[in-house]
Structure 1
């Protein structure tokens, strides 16, 4: 199966968004609450309905970039955030994005990509982060039986995948996942290696 623009547009057009929490992820909210510099450049790839972006705006953050491949979704987000100068919304393939970011928030983007793209994901994240920038978010600590997406994995898988490009500040079972995901998520804080 090809997870292209048409695939994701169809998901959003038909409200087939079982991953959608209808609110910001609790672990990411708690992380955001600890941030003091409201001017850092934040990227949310595969942003979905962008609840984390709404939360960032509500909390005074001024430099947020959203990117998603689905033009159906991006059109909806552009209407939703049309009067907000703190947010930039990009409709394109993540892997051709240019720029530099202090923080990249990972929330169900990695698990939506075919596993063949994971080395490209690691490389692109490393490229997009400033020195001492952070890749922060959640990865599934679970292998799904059905064909994805979502695509899962394990702590060991992620250590092997990311270790050449990132230092692991945090890679642990998430203590504050939503109940249906309890024990099945890892919270990550990765810093790019030089």
Structure 2
């Protein structure tokens, strides 16, 4: 039985920025449809990344928010307390710092986004991030750099095609990944997560569900509409357990007061933020494993 909660406490996080998410990762088709062979890091001028590279070079990044995401703050207690955290399509999100007591892997397709994260958050790292480099033995499909947080945990930034990732993790925070990908890429996204998330691992996922409005508004994206039934269908096929743990009425909740009129003018009558906790099948509940 799924529980639906409602957030009633406003947070100063900039609703417009949240809803205008435009991560700097390919939204049409990946450079490869297989994770079975290593490929060099995807070039930033490739068709999949050129648009987002251009936006970062022009500093057209209004989707970025400077505070921790409200969903992460509210529901992080449900996540494993140990193991590696994966943040796909991360841009320069400060949510990376929310997990600074854990090992973190943050992935994006545009190096400038990751470089801005390192420069804007330099005070959070006693040792500067070294230049990005590629290792032929580990993660050859990515340019990577690693530093240590103030909590003495490694924070790694990966620049490349997310669909080539194979690193084992226990936690995934998806704030703006699945909604940024064209619906045709969702099965590949889930396949990639399955190759990374360890048994008993957990995904915390926030989606936007365009519930009612004009046909063009319902079909528009990104952010693409991802309904609860979409999530259940995608992950039930891949041996996951899906629980919807929260739902926010974007058109009425104070969290989104700065953006609701924009969405109404775009033709939407109902828009919901839906939050899911997704666990790999075959193991004990996360609260039994990660006490």
TM-score normalized by the length of structure 2? 0.58
Q: Which structure is larger by alpha-carbon Rg, 1 or 2?
A: 2
2:130 maps to none
Deviation sequence 1:11-60 (CA, Å, 0-9, x none): 222333343232211111122255573x4210000012221111222xxx
Q: Say whether 1:151 aligns with 2:151.
A: no
1:95 maps to 163
Paired residues of 1:140 and 1:152 also in contact (CA < 8 A)? yes
Q: After the TM superposition, which residues 104-115 of structure 1 pair with which residues of structure 2 at under 5 Å, given as runs?
A: 104-115=172-183
Q: Say whether 1:4 aligns with 2:48.
A: yes
Tell me, in whole angstroms, the C-alpha distance in 1 between the residues paired with 2:78 and 2:187: 30
Q: RMSD value over aligned CA atoms?
A: 2.7
Match of 1:128 among 193, 196, 200: 196
Tell me, in whole angstroms, the C-alpha distance in 2 between the residues paired with 1:168 and 1:15: 39
1:49 maps to 92
SS of 1:159 mapped into structure 2: helix
- What's the offset of the Cα at 1:165? 1.2
- What's the offset of the Cα at 1:118? 0.4
SS of 2:83 mapped into structure 1: coil
- What's the offset of the Cα at 1:96? 0.3
Tell me, in whole angstroms, the C-alpha distance in 1 between the residues paired with 2:79 and 2:172: 13
Of 41-50 and 171-180, more deviation after overlay is shown by 171-180
Long gaps (5+) in structure 2:
1-26, 29-46, 128-146, 149-153, 261-269, 283-291
Match of 1:118 among 186, 189, 207: 186
Long gaps (5+) in structure 1:
none
What is the total number of aligned residue pairs between the two structures? 190
Match of 1:25 among 61, 64, 69: 69
Paired residues of 2:68 and 2:98 also in contact (CA < 8 A)? yes
Larger relative contact order (Cα-Cα within 8 Å, sequence gap ≥ 6) = 2
2:139 maps to none
Tell me, in whole angstroms, the C-alpha distance in 2 between the residues paired with 1:24 and 1:9: 24
TM-score normalized by the length of structure 1? 0.84
SS of 1:131 mapped into structure 2: strand
Deviation sequence 1:136-172 (CA, Å, 0-9, x none): 1201122672742221121122222221114334224
2:110 maps to 70
Paired residues of 1:173 and 1:184 also in contact (CA < 8 A)? no
Of 90-99 and 13-22, more deviation after overlay is shown by 13-22
Of 26-35 and 107-116, more deviation after overlay is shown by 26-35
Paired residues of 2:166 and 2:192 also in contact (CA < 8 A)? no
